[in-house]
Amino acid sequence: MDFTLILSSNRNVGLDHLAQLQRILDEQNIRFSTRPLWLRPHLCAQIGIDDYLRPDQMELLRTEFDKNQIDIFITHASSQRKKILFCDMEATIIREEILDELAKTLNIENHILPITQAAMAGEIDFQTALEKRVNLLKGTSVLLLQEMAQKLTPNPGAIELLKVLNFYKIPSVLVTGGFDFFASRIAGLLGFTSYHANHLIIENNELTGTVKAPVLDRQAKADFIHRYCIQMQITPDQTAAVGDGANDSDMISLSGMGVGYHPKKALADATLNHIRHTDLSHLLYIFGFTWQDIEKALHHGEITVQNS
């Protein structure tokens, strides 16, 4: 079985980098099985190899290519073009961690931020962390949430990523442990096919400090992959997923192409593929799209968003 390695950069990928890759792989007794294919000249190339890489081998490559701000990915050659993409929202599709931003506005960040950090590191289970933080927001006005929703910022490459996927009719699902109050807006703004999120309970235009059960947690994110696979009559190896924290680990491990976006340590240790230097649009190269495919799509695309 052949595999595909992809070198991707916002600055430069050249023949010298491919030669460097070949030298490193030769030392690991791994050989190129195809000639290089330039997905975008001078910025992204893919090449076949005859064996899968272990985590320590991928870490060796990352250590070398980090010096040139090049990201490196590995995928199965036979199923490179995935059928669906699952995305985390906060600190992945958007820059913000919403609870942390609300905490700063309310001047309670010293209480909320440590809980967020512990949850992202996998030191505390997600549901407990969520319930503790939401309880601290009891009495917060919906008006503040509305103001926050207007300020959310897509991460670089997110708009291009979704536009291209929609053009080629590849479904995209926003799956977040955050809240549908915000996920609905982001899904509509960027063009996600559907979204799933937790629901804040609101009474008299104020947060009650509680979340509707059941909580969408780490396991629930992975369960959505199974759910969509059944609906689409595909297998998990035909899916892709991207996220940043420990709460995304099960979803990313289950998918056929799991990618950590500037991943926290717990997720970085659990996945081979990391976006460290490029942006979310470079996921398209992992799918095997060329720059011509991408340019063709960037001027088109209409979508319909469905709630869960």
Residue 201: inside a domain, yes or no?
yes
Q: Band the pLDDT of 297: cuts 50, 70, 90.
A: very high
Domain of residue 271, residue span: 83-96+140-308
**Structure tokens belonging to residue 20:** 């460097």
pLDDT at res. 307: 57
Query: Nearest 5°: CA angle at 296, between 288 and 159?
Result: 75
Q: How many domains does the chain have?
A: 2
> Which pLDDT tens digit goes with each residue over 206-236?
999 999 999 999 999 999 999 999 999 999 9
Nearest to 70 by CA among 27, 11, 129: 11
User: Does 176 share its domain with 301?
Assistant: yes
User: Does 51 share its domain with 157?
Assistant: no
pLDDT at res. 1: 57
Angstrom distance (rounded) from CA 269 to CA 289:
27
pLDDT at res. 299: 81
pTM of the model: 0.94
Radius of gyration for the alpha carbons in the chain, expressed in angstroms and rounded: 20
Q: Cβ of 209: how many Cβ atoms within 10 Å?
A: 16
pLDDT beyond 80 at 40? yes
User: Does 216 share its domain with 68?
Assistant: no
Residue 214: inside a domain, yes or no?
yes
User: Does 239 share its domain with 268?
Assistant: yes
> Which pLDDT tens digit goes with each residue over 133-148?
999 999 999 999 999 9
Spell 220-232 as b/e; 16+ CB within 10 A means b.
bbbbbbeebbeee
User: Does 165 share its domain with 215?
Assistant: yes
Average pLDDT over all residues of the chain? 94
pLDDT beyond 50 at 301? no
The residues, any chain, with a CB within 8 Å of residue 306's CB and separated by 6 or more, are 193, 194, 195
pLDDT at res. 77: 92
